[in-house]
Amino acid sequence: MINTERMERLYEASVEGNPTVLQTLLQKDPLILDKVALNQNDDMPLHIASMLGHIDFVNEILARKPKLSMECDSQGRVPLHMASAKGHVDVVKALLSANPEACVACDRDGRNPLHIAAVKGRYEVVKELVRAQPHAARAMVEQETILHLCVKHNQLEVLKLLIESMGDHEFLNTKDADGNTILHLAVADKQIETVNFLLFNTTIEVNASNTSGETSIDVLAQGPSDLKDQQIIRLLTQARGVDMKNESLFEEKPQNSISKLGSDNTKYNKKPHVKKDSKNNEDWLDKKRNTLMVVSSLIATMAFQAGTNPPSGVWQDNSIGQAGYAVMVYNHPKLYHTFLVCNTVGFVSTLSIILLLISGLPFLKHRVFMWVLMVIMWIATASMSLTYLVSISVLTPKPEAETFKNVVNGIVLVWIGLMTLLVAGHAIRIMEIFHKSPISRKKANVTPIIIQHT
């Protein structure tokens, strides 16, 4: 049986890293460390001291009981696991000196201390462990190499160290359970620096495919697109990356744009060419749809508030049966009619845009129909500008009304003229699209050939 008081003092000494207390306890009970190890608890002294980096305490234990460096806690971890995770290089060296085989000891998850250090990014610890036991880096964890773990946890510097230390082409291109190389993982996670290093500083196989037949470019296309995609695609194309599922993304182009008939020295340079037209078109449509939705919602809200609370307000007195009716109806009947028509047109136009955008109809994915929605938005904005003009005219006193009215009229007319030019420009573009037939486009691409008769 272990004395409870001594056990508590041993635990406190390991936490504080006090070798003097340890020596005192060993004098009273030389087997106290062995007795603690039998329980296989998580608070074993050497594990605690290794985790906290108490090198003197660790050396004191190893000098008396070097075999304790291979004792496991409840999770199957040896003290080297703890020191490697925390990056205590001095403790790691001491534990390796006591027993280098601790480097290949695996915990319950199948990870050895080198795996733990790599995942945590402990560069100096990884260097020491690889120097002591190079073959520990080749141990697999659930069909993944230590290189896969480095990429998954974005530890580029450790990845560089391991690749430079091992220099093994076959191990570099090892695949995981899904057939993914470390390049697949780096591209999927959009680690630009890692992708650049692998492509231009290693012998990674650029066009390796996984169990689904997907190359790294295929994997990139499956995720959400952002600005990093263009950089990664540029790197992959420079490294001759091929899209196995869509080889039309790449095409052979002649090195010189002009080739001479009868020449035997025509050279072709195979350059991957990524077609981004469809992607750019989709991005453009998404931005336009989002913009139209936001602006339409704002204009619809403004029009609703203006319709339910017109300029000058409503009658509050019900003595003549007018309570709740617009004051503008009686004071400015003609202007109120104009106000009501313009406000209603703006309100209905924006509601129509919102309804079309949320309907998800397939024809809305074309630029032509998006231009139609923009024309409707022009009508809505023009109507709201007229609504504003009528409202200000009603609310402005007569002495100042004429001057203000002339200024506002001029500004509004200029603005409406600008909008008219924009609509005209879009209309011309639509007409050009409809008038361009496939036959005319083919004719435009035909190079005339002159045959000389002799």
- Give 204-261 as a DSSP string: --TT---TTS--HHHHHHHSPP-HHHHHHHHHHHHTT---SS-GGGSEEEESSS---T
Say if residue 163 is in the same domain as residue 214: yes
Examine the pLDDT at 268 and tell me if it is beyond 50: no
Token pair listed for 436: 């361009």
Residue 188 has pLDDT above 80, yes or no: yes
Comparing 92-96, 130-134, 177-181, 331-335, the range with the smallest average pLDDT is 331-335
Residue 171: inside a domain, yes or no? yes
pLDDT at residue number 262 = 36
pLDDT band at 405 (very low <50, low <70, confident <90, very high): low
The pLDDT > 90 percentage for the chain reads: 39
Quick one: 76 and 198 in the same domain? no
Mean pLDDT of the chain: 80
Residue 316 belongs to a domain: no
Determine the pLDDT at residue 303: 84
Residue labelled with tokens 């560069």 = 123
Angstrom distance (rounded) from CA 259 to CA 266: 7
Token pair for 5 = 């008081």
Confidence grade of residue 279 (pLDDT, cut at 50, 70, 90)? low
Dig out the tokens for 343 from the structure.
């406000």
Residue 266 lies in a domain: no
pLDDT for the residue 256: 37
Q: Is the pLDDT of residue 432 over 60?
A: yes
**CA 81-87-93 angle, 5° bins:** 75
Q: Are residues 125 and 170 in the same domain?
A: no
What are the tens digits of pLDDT across the range 293-321?
888 888 888 888 888 888 878 777 765 55
* For residue 446, pLDDT beyond 60: no
The pLDDT score that the predictor gives to residue 43 is 80
pLDDT in the model for residue 146: 95
Q: Is the residue at 433 inside a domain?
A: yes
Amino acid at 354: I
- How far is residue 334's CA from residue 197's CA, in Å, rounded to a whole number? 74
Determine the pLDDT at residue 242. 59
Residue pLDDT, tens place only, 216-254: 888 887 766 777 888 888 888 888 765 555 444 443 333
pLDDT computed for residue 452 by the predictor: 41
Query: How many Å apart are CA 383 and CA 309, to the nearest integer?
Result: 17
Q: What is the mean pLDDT of residues 333-346?
A: 87
DSSP secondary structure code for residue 446 in this structure: P
Of all helices (H) and strands (E), which one includes residue 3?
Answer: none
pTM for this model (two decimals):
0.54
Whether 250 is covered by a domain: the verdict is: no
Which residue has better confidence, 164 or 414?
Answer: 164
What whole-number distance in Å separates Cα of residue 239 and Cα of residue 233?
10
pLDDT at 137: 93
> Do 75 and 108 touch, CB atoms closer than 8 A?
yes
Same domain? For 182 and 218 the reply is: yes
pLDDT at position 88 over 50: yes
The total number of residues written for the chain in this structure: 454
Question: Are both 194 and 298 inside the same structural domain?
Answer: no
d(CA 12, CA 22): 10
Q: Are 3 and 42 a contacting pair, CB within 8 Å?
A: no
Res. 402 pLDDT band, cuts 50 70 90: low
Amino acid at site 289: R
Q: Which two tokens stand for residue 426?
A: 């879009």
Domain-embedded: residue 177: yes
Note whether residue 163 is domain-resident. Answer: yes
| Buried-state track 230-240, b at ≥16 Cβ within 10 A, e below 16 | eebbebbbebe
Work out how many domains the chain is built from and give that number: 3
Residue finishing a domain among 220, 244, 268? 244
Q: Are 228 and 193 in contact (CB under 8 A)?
A: no
CA pair distance 83, 124, nearest whole angstrom:
12
**Cβ contacts of 218 within 8 Å, gap of 6 or more:** 243, 244, 245, 246
Strand ranges for 137-181 from DSSP E? none
Residue 120 shares a structural domain with residue 180: no
Q: In terms of residue numbers, what domain contains 290?
A: 277-311+324-441
Interaxial angle between packed helices 89-98 and 79-86, expressed in degrees from 0 to 180 and rounded to the nearest 10: 160
Tell me, yes or no, whether 416 and 363 share the same domain. Answer: yes
**pLDDT in the model for residue 24:** 92
**pLDDT number for residue 395:** 79
CATH code of the domain in which 107 resides:
1.25.40.20
Tell which of 139, 159, 187 closes a domain.
Answer: 139
- Whether residues 341 and 225 share a domain: the answer is no
Q: Out of 139, 163, 190, pick the residue that ends a domain.
A: 139
- Which amino acid is located at 241 in the chain? G
Query: Do 282 and 396 reside in the same domain of the chain?
Result: yes
| pLDDT at residue 264 in the model | 38
Q: What's the Cα-to-Cα distance from 190 to each of 187, 233, 238, 245, rounded to whole Å? A: 5, 10, 17, 20
Cα dist from 321 to 3, 59, 311, 315, 317, whole Å: 98, 100, 20, 9, 8
Q: What pLDDT does residue 102 have?
A: 94
Beta-carbon-side half-sphere exposure of residue 124 (alpha carbons within 13 Å): 9
| 167 in the same domain as 129 | no
Q: Based on the domain organization, do 430 and 283 belong to the same domain?
A: yes
| Domain identity same for 120 and 3 | yes
The answer as to whether 256 is a domain residue is: no
CB of 50 closer than 8 Å to CB of 95 = yes
Tokens of 334: 């003609």
Contact of 79 with 102, CB cutoff 8 Å: yes
